[in-house]
Amino acid sequence: MKAVFDCVSIFPEMFAALTGSGITRKAQEAGLWSLSLWNPRDYADNAWRTVDDRPYGGGPGMVMQAAPLEAAIHAAKARQQANGARQSRVIYLSPQGVPLRHAKVIEMAADLQAGVGLVLLCGRYEGVDERLIERVVEEEISIGDFVVSGGELAAMLLMDALIRQLPGALGDAASAAEDSFVSGLLDCPHYTRPEMYAGQAVPEVLLSGDHARIRRWRLKASLARTRKRRPELLTQRALSAEETQLMTEIQHEQCGEQ
């Protein structure tokens, strides 16, 4: 089934980043996913189309009002249902959400294919009236421990991660199953022509044509990188016999460097 996204945003034009370029554009043209945009300003009850107001309790900045957001979300859900969605799930992108991980992306992509439509709420200003979140938001998701200017980029990042999991989204050669993190490890380094660049050669093994040796070298490079940069990923994951052997080699090599 086609993956259905509906985004509620006062900056709908930002989503051209997703529909205009690359794999996400190709996948949309191939009918793998569709996006509808809902501007809460269209549901404002005043002639100036404002959807924000000052925070109760004082302080700087503005808060998005519940009513126009709820009306936009309601319209998005109604359209999804009319188009045959089995279910609609409202997600708010915010730094207060549950951190997004690869396993969650896989799970959500499967739900999309099974007919669960996503409604992504993109906040602006200092946030959204909490009562709207309590009333309609089913999941709050964070893409990382930092603040940006609004939820749109986070929504697009989530959509991109989901779209590349849809069957047929990546070319024949590429496969989402080979992505970094599927293995629970960081990706190994990559090289292309020329063989010598700025005095640096491509690792000899990659020119050898010995596929077993190349696979082993890549696995070892992934393990070494993960150990150095993200050691906590290794404590969350079991090692195979081969991986344990490679880790021992890596530890010995590291000792020599110091």
d(CA 105, CA 111) in angstroms, rounded, equals 10
Q: Toward ligand 9WO, which CB reaches closer, 133 or 246?
A: 133
Interface residues for ligand 9WO in 2-61 (CB under 6 A)?
60-61
Q: Toward ligand 9WO, which CB reaches closer, 47 or 147?
A: 147
By the rule CB under 6 A, 127 interacts with ligand 9WO = yes
Q: Of 111, 140, 160, 179, which one is the catalytic site residue?
A: 179
Minimal distance in Å, beta carbon 90 to ligand 9WO? 15
Other CB atoms within 10 Å distance of the CB of residue 128: 22
Minimal distance in Å, beta carbon 62 to ligand 9WO? 9
Q: Of 13, 126, 138, 249, which one is the catalytic site residue?
A: 126
Round the CA-based radius of gyration of the chain to a whole number and report it: 23
Provide φ and ψ at 119, rounded to 5°. -115, 110
For the question of residue 179 being annotated catalytic, the response is yes
Say which residues have a Cβ less than 8 Å from residue 123's Cβ, sequence separation at least 6.
64, 92, 93, 94, 150, 151
C-beta of residue 9 within 8 angstroms of C-beta of residue 37 = yes
The letter for the amino acid at 51 is V
For the question of residue 243 being annotated catalytic, the response is no
Of 42, 45, 53, 126, which lies in the binding site for ligand 9WO, with binding defined by CB under 6 A? 126
Minimal distance in Å, beta carbon 141 to ligand 9WO? 7
Other CB atoms within 10 Å distance of the CB of residue 88: 19
Q: How far apart are the first and last CA of the chain?
A: 55
For the question of residue 99 being annotated catalytic, the response is no
By rule CB under 6 A, what string of x and - marks binding of each residue 92-111 to ligand 9WO? Answer: -xxx----------------
* Cα–Cα distances in angstroms (integers) from residue 15 to residues 12, 86, 98, 112, 153, in the given order: 6, 25, 23, 19, 9
Q: Toward ligand 9WO, which CB reaches closer, 144 or 189?
A: 144
For the question of residue 203 being annotated catalytic, the response is no
d(CA 101, CA 151) in angstroms, rounded, equals 18
Q: Of 40, 129, 164, 243, which one is the catalytic site residue?
A: 164
Length of the chain: 258
Candidates 30-38, 70-78, 136-144, 235-243; binding stretch for ligand 9WO (CB under 6 A): 136-144
Candidates 5-13, 110-118, 148-156, 220-228; binding stretch for ligand 9WO (CB under 6 A): 148-156
d(CA 3, CA 111) in angstroms, rounded, equals 9
C-beta of residue 55 within 8 angstroms of C-beta of residue 63 = yes
Q: Toward ligand 9WO, which CB reaches closer, 110 or 148?
A: 148
Q: Which residues are catalytic?
A: 95, 126, 164, 179
Binding site for ligand 9WO (CB under 6 A): 60-61, 93-95, 123, 126-127, 142-144, 147-148, 150-151, 154
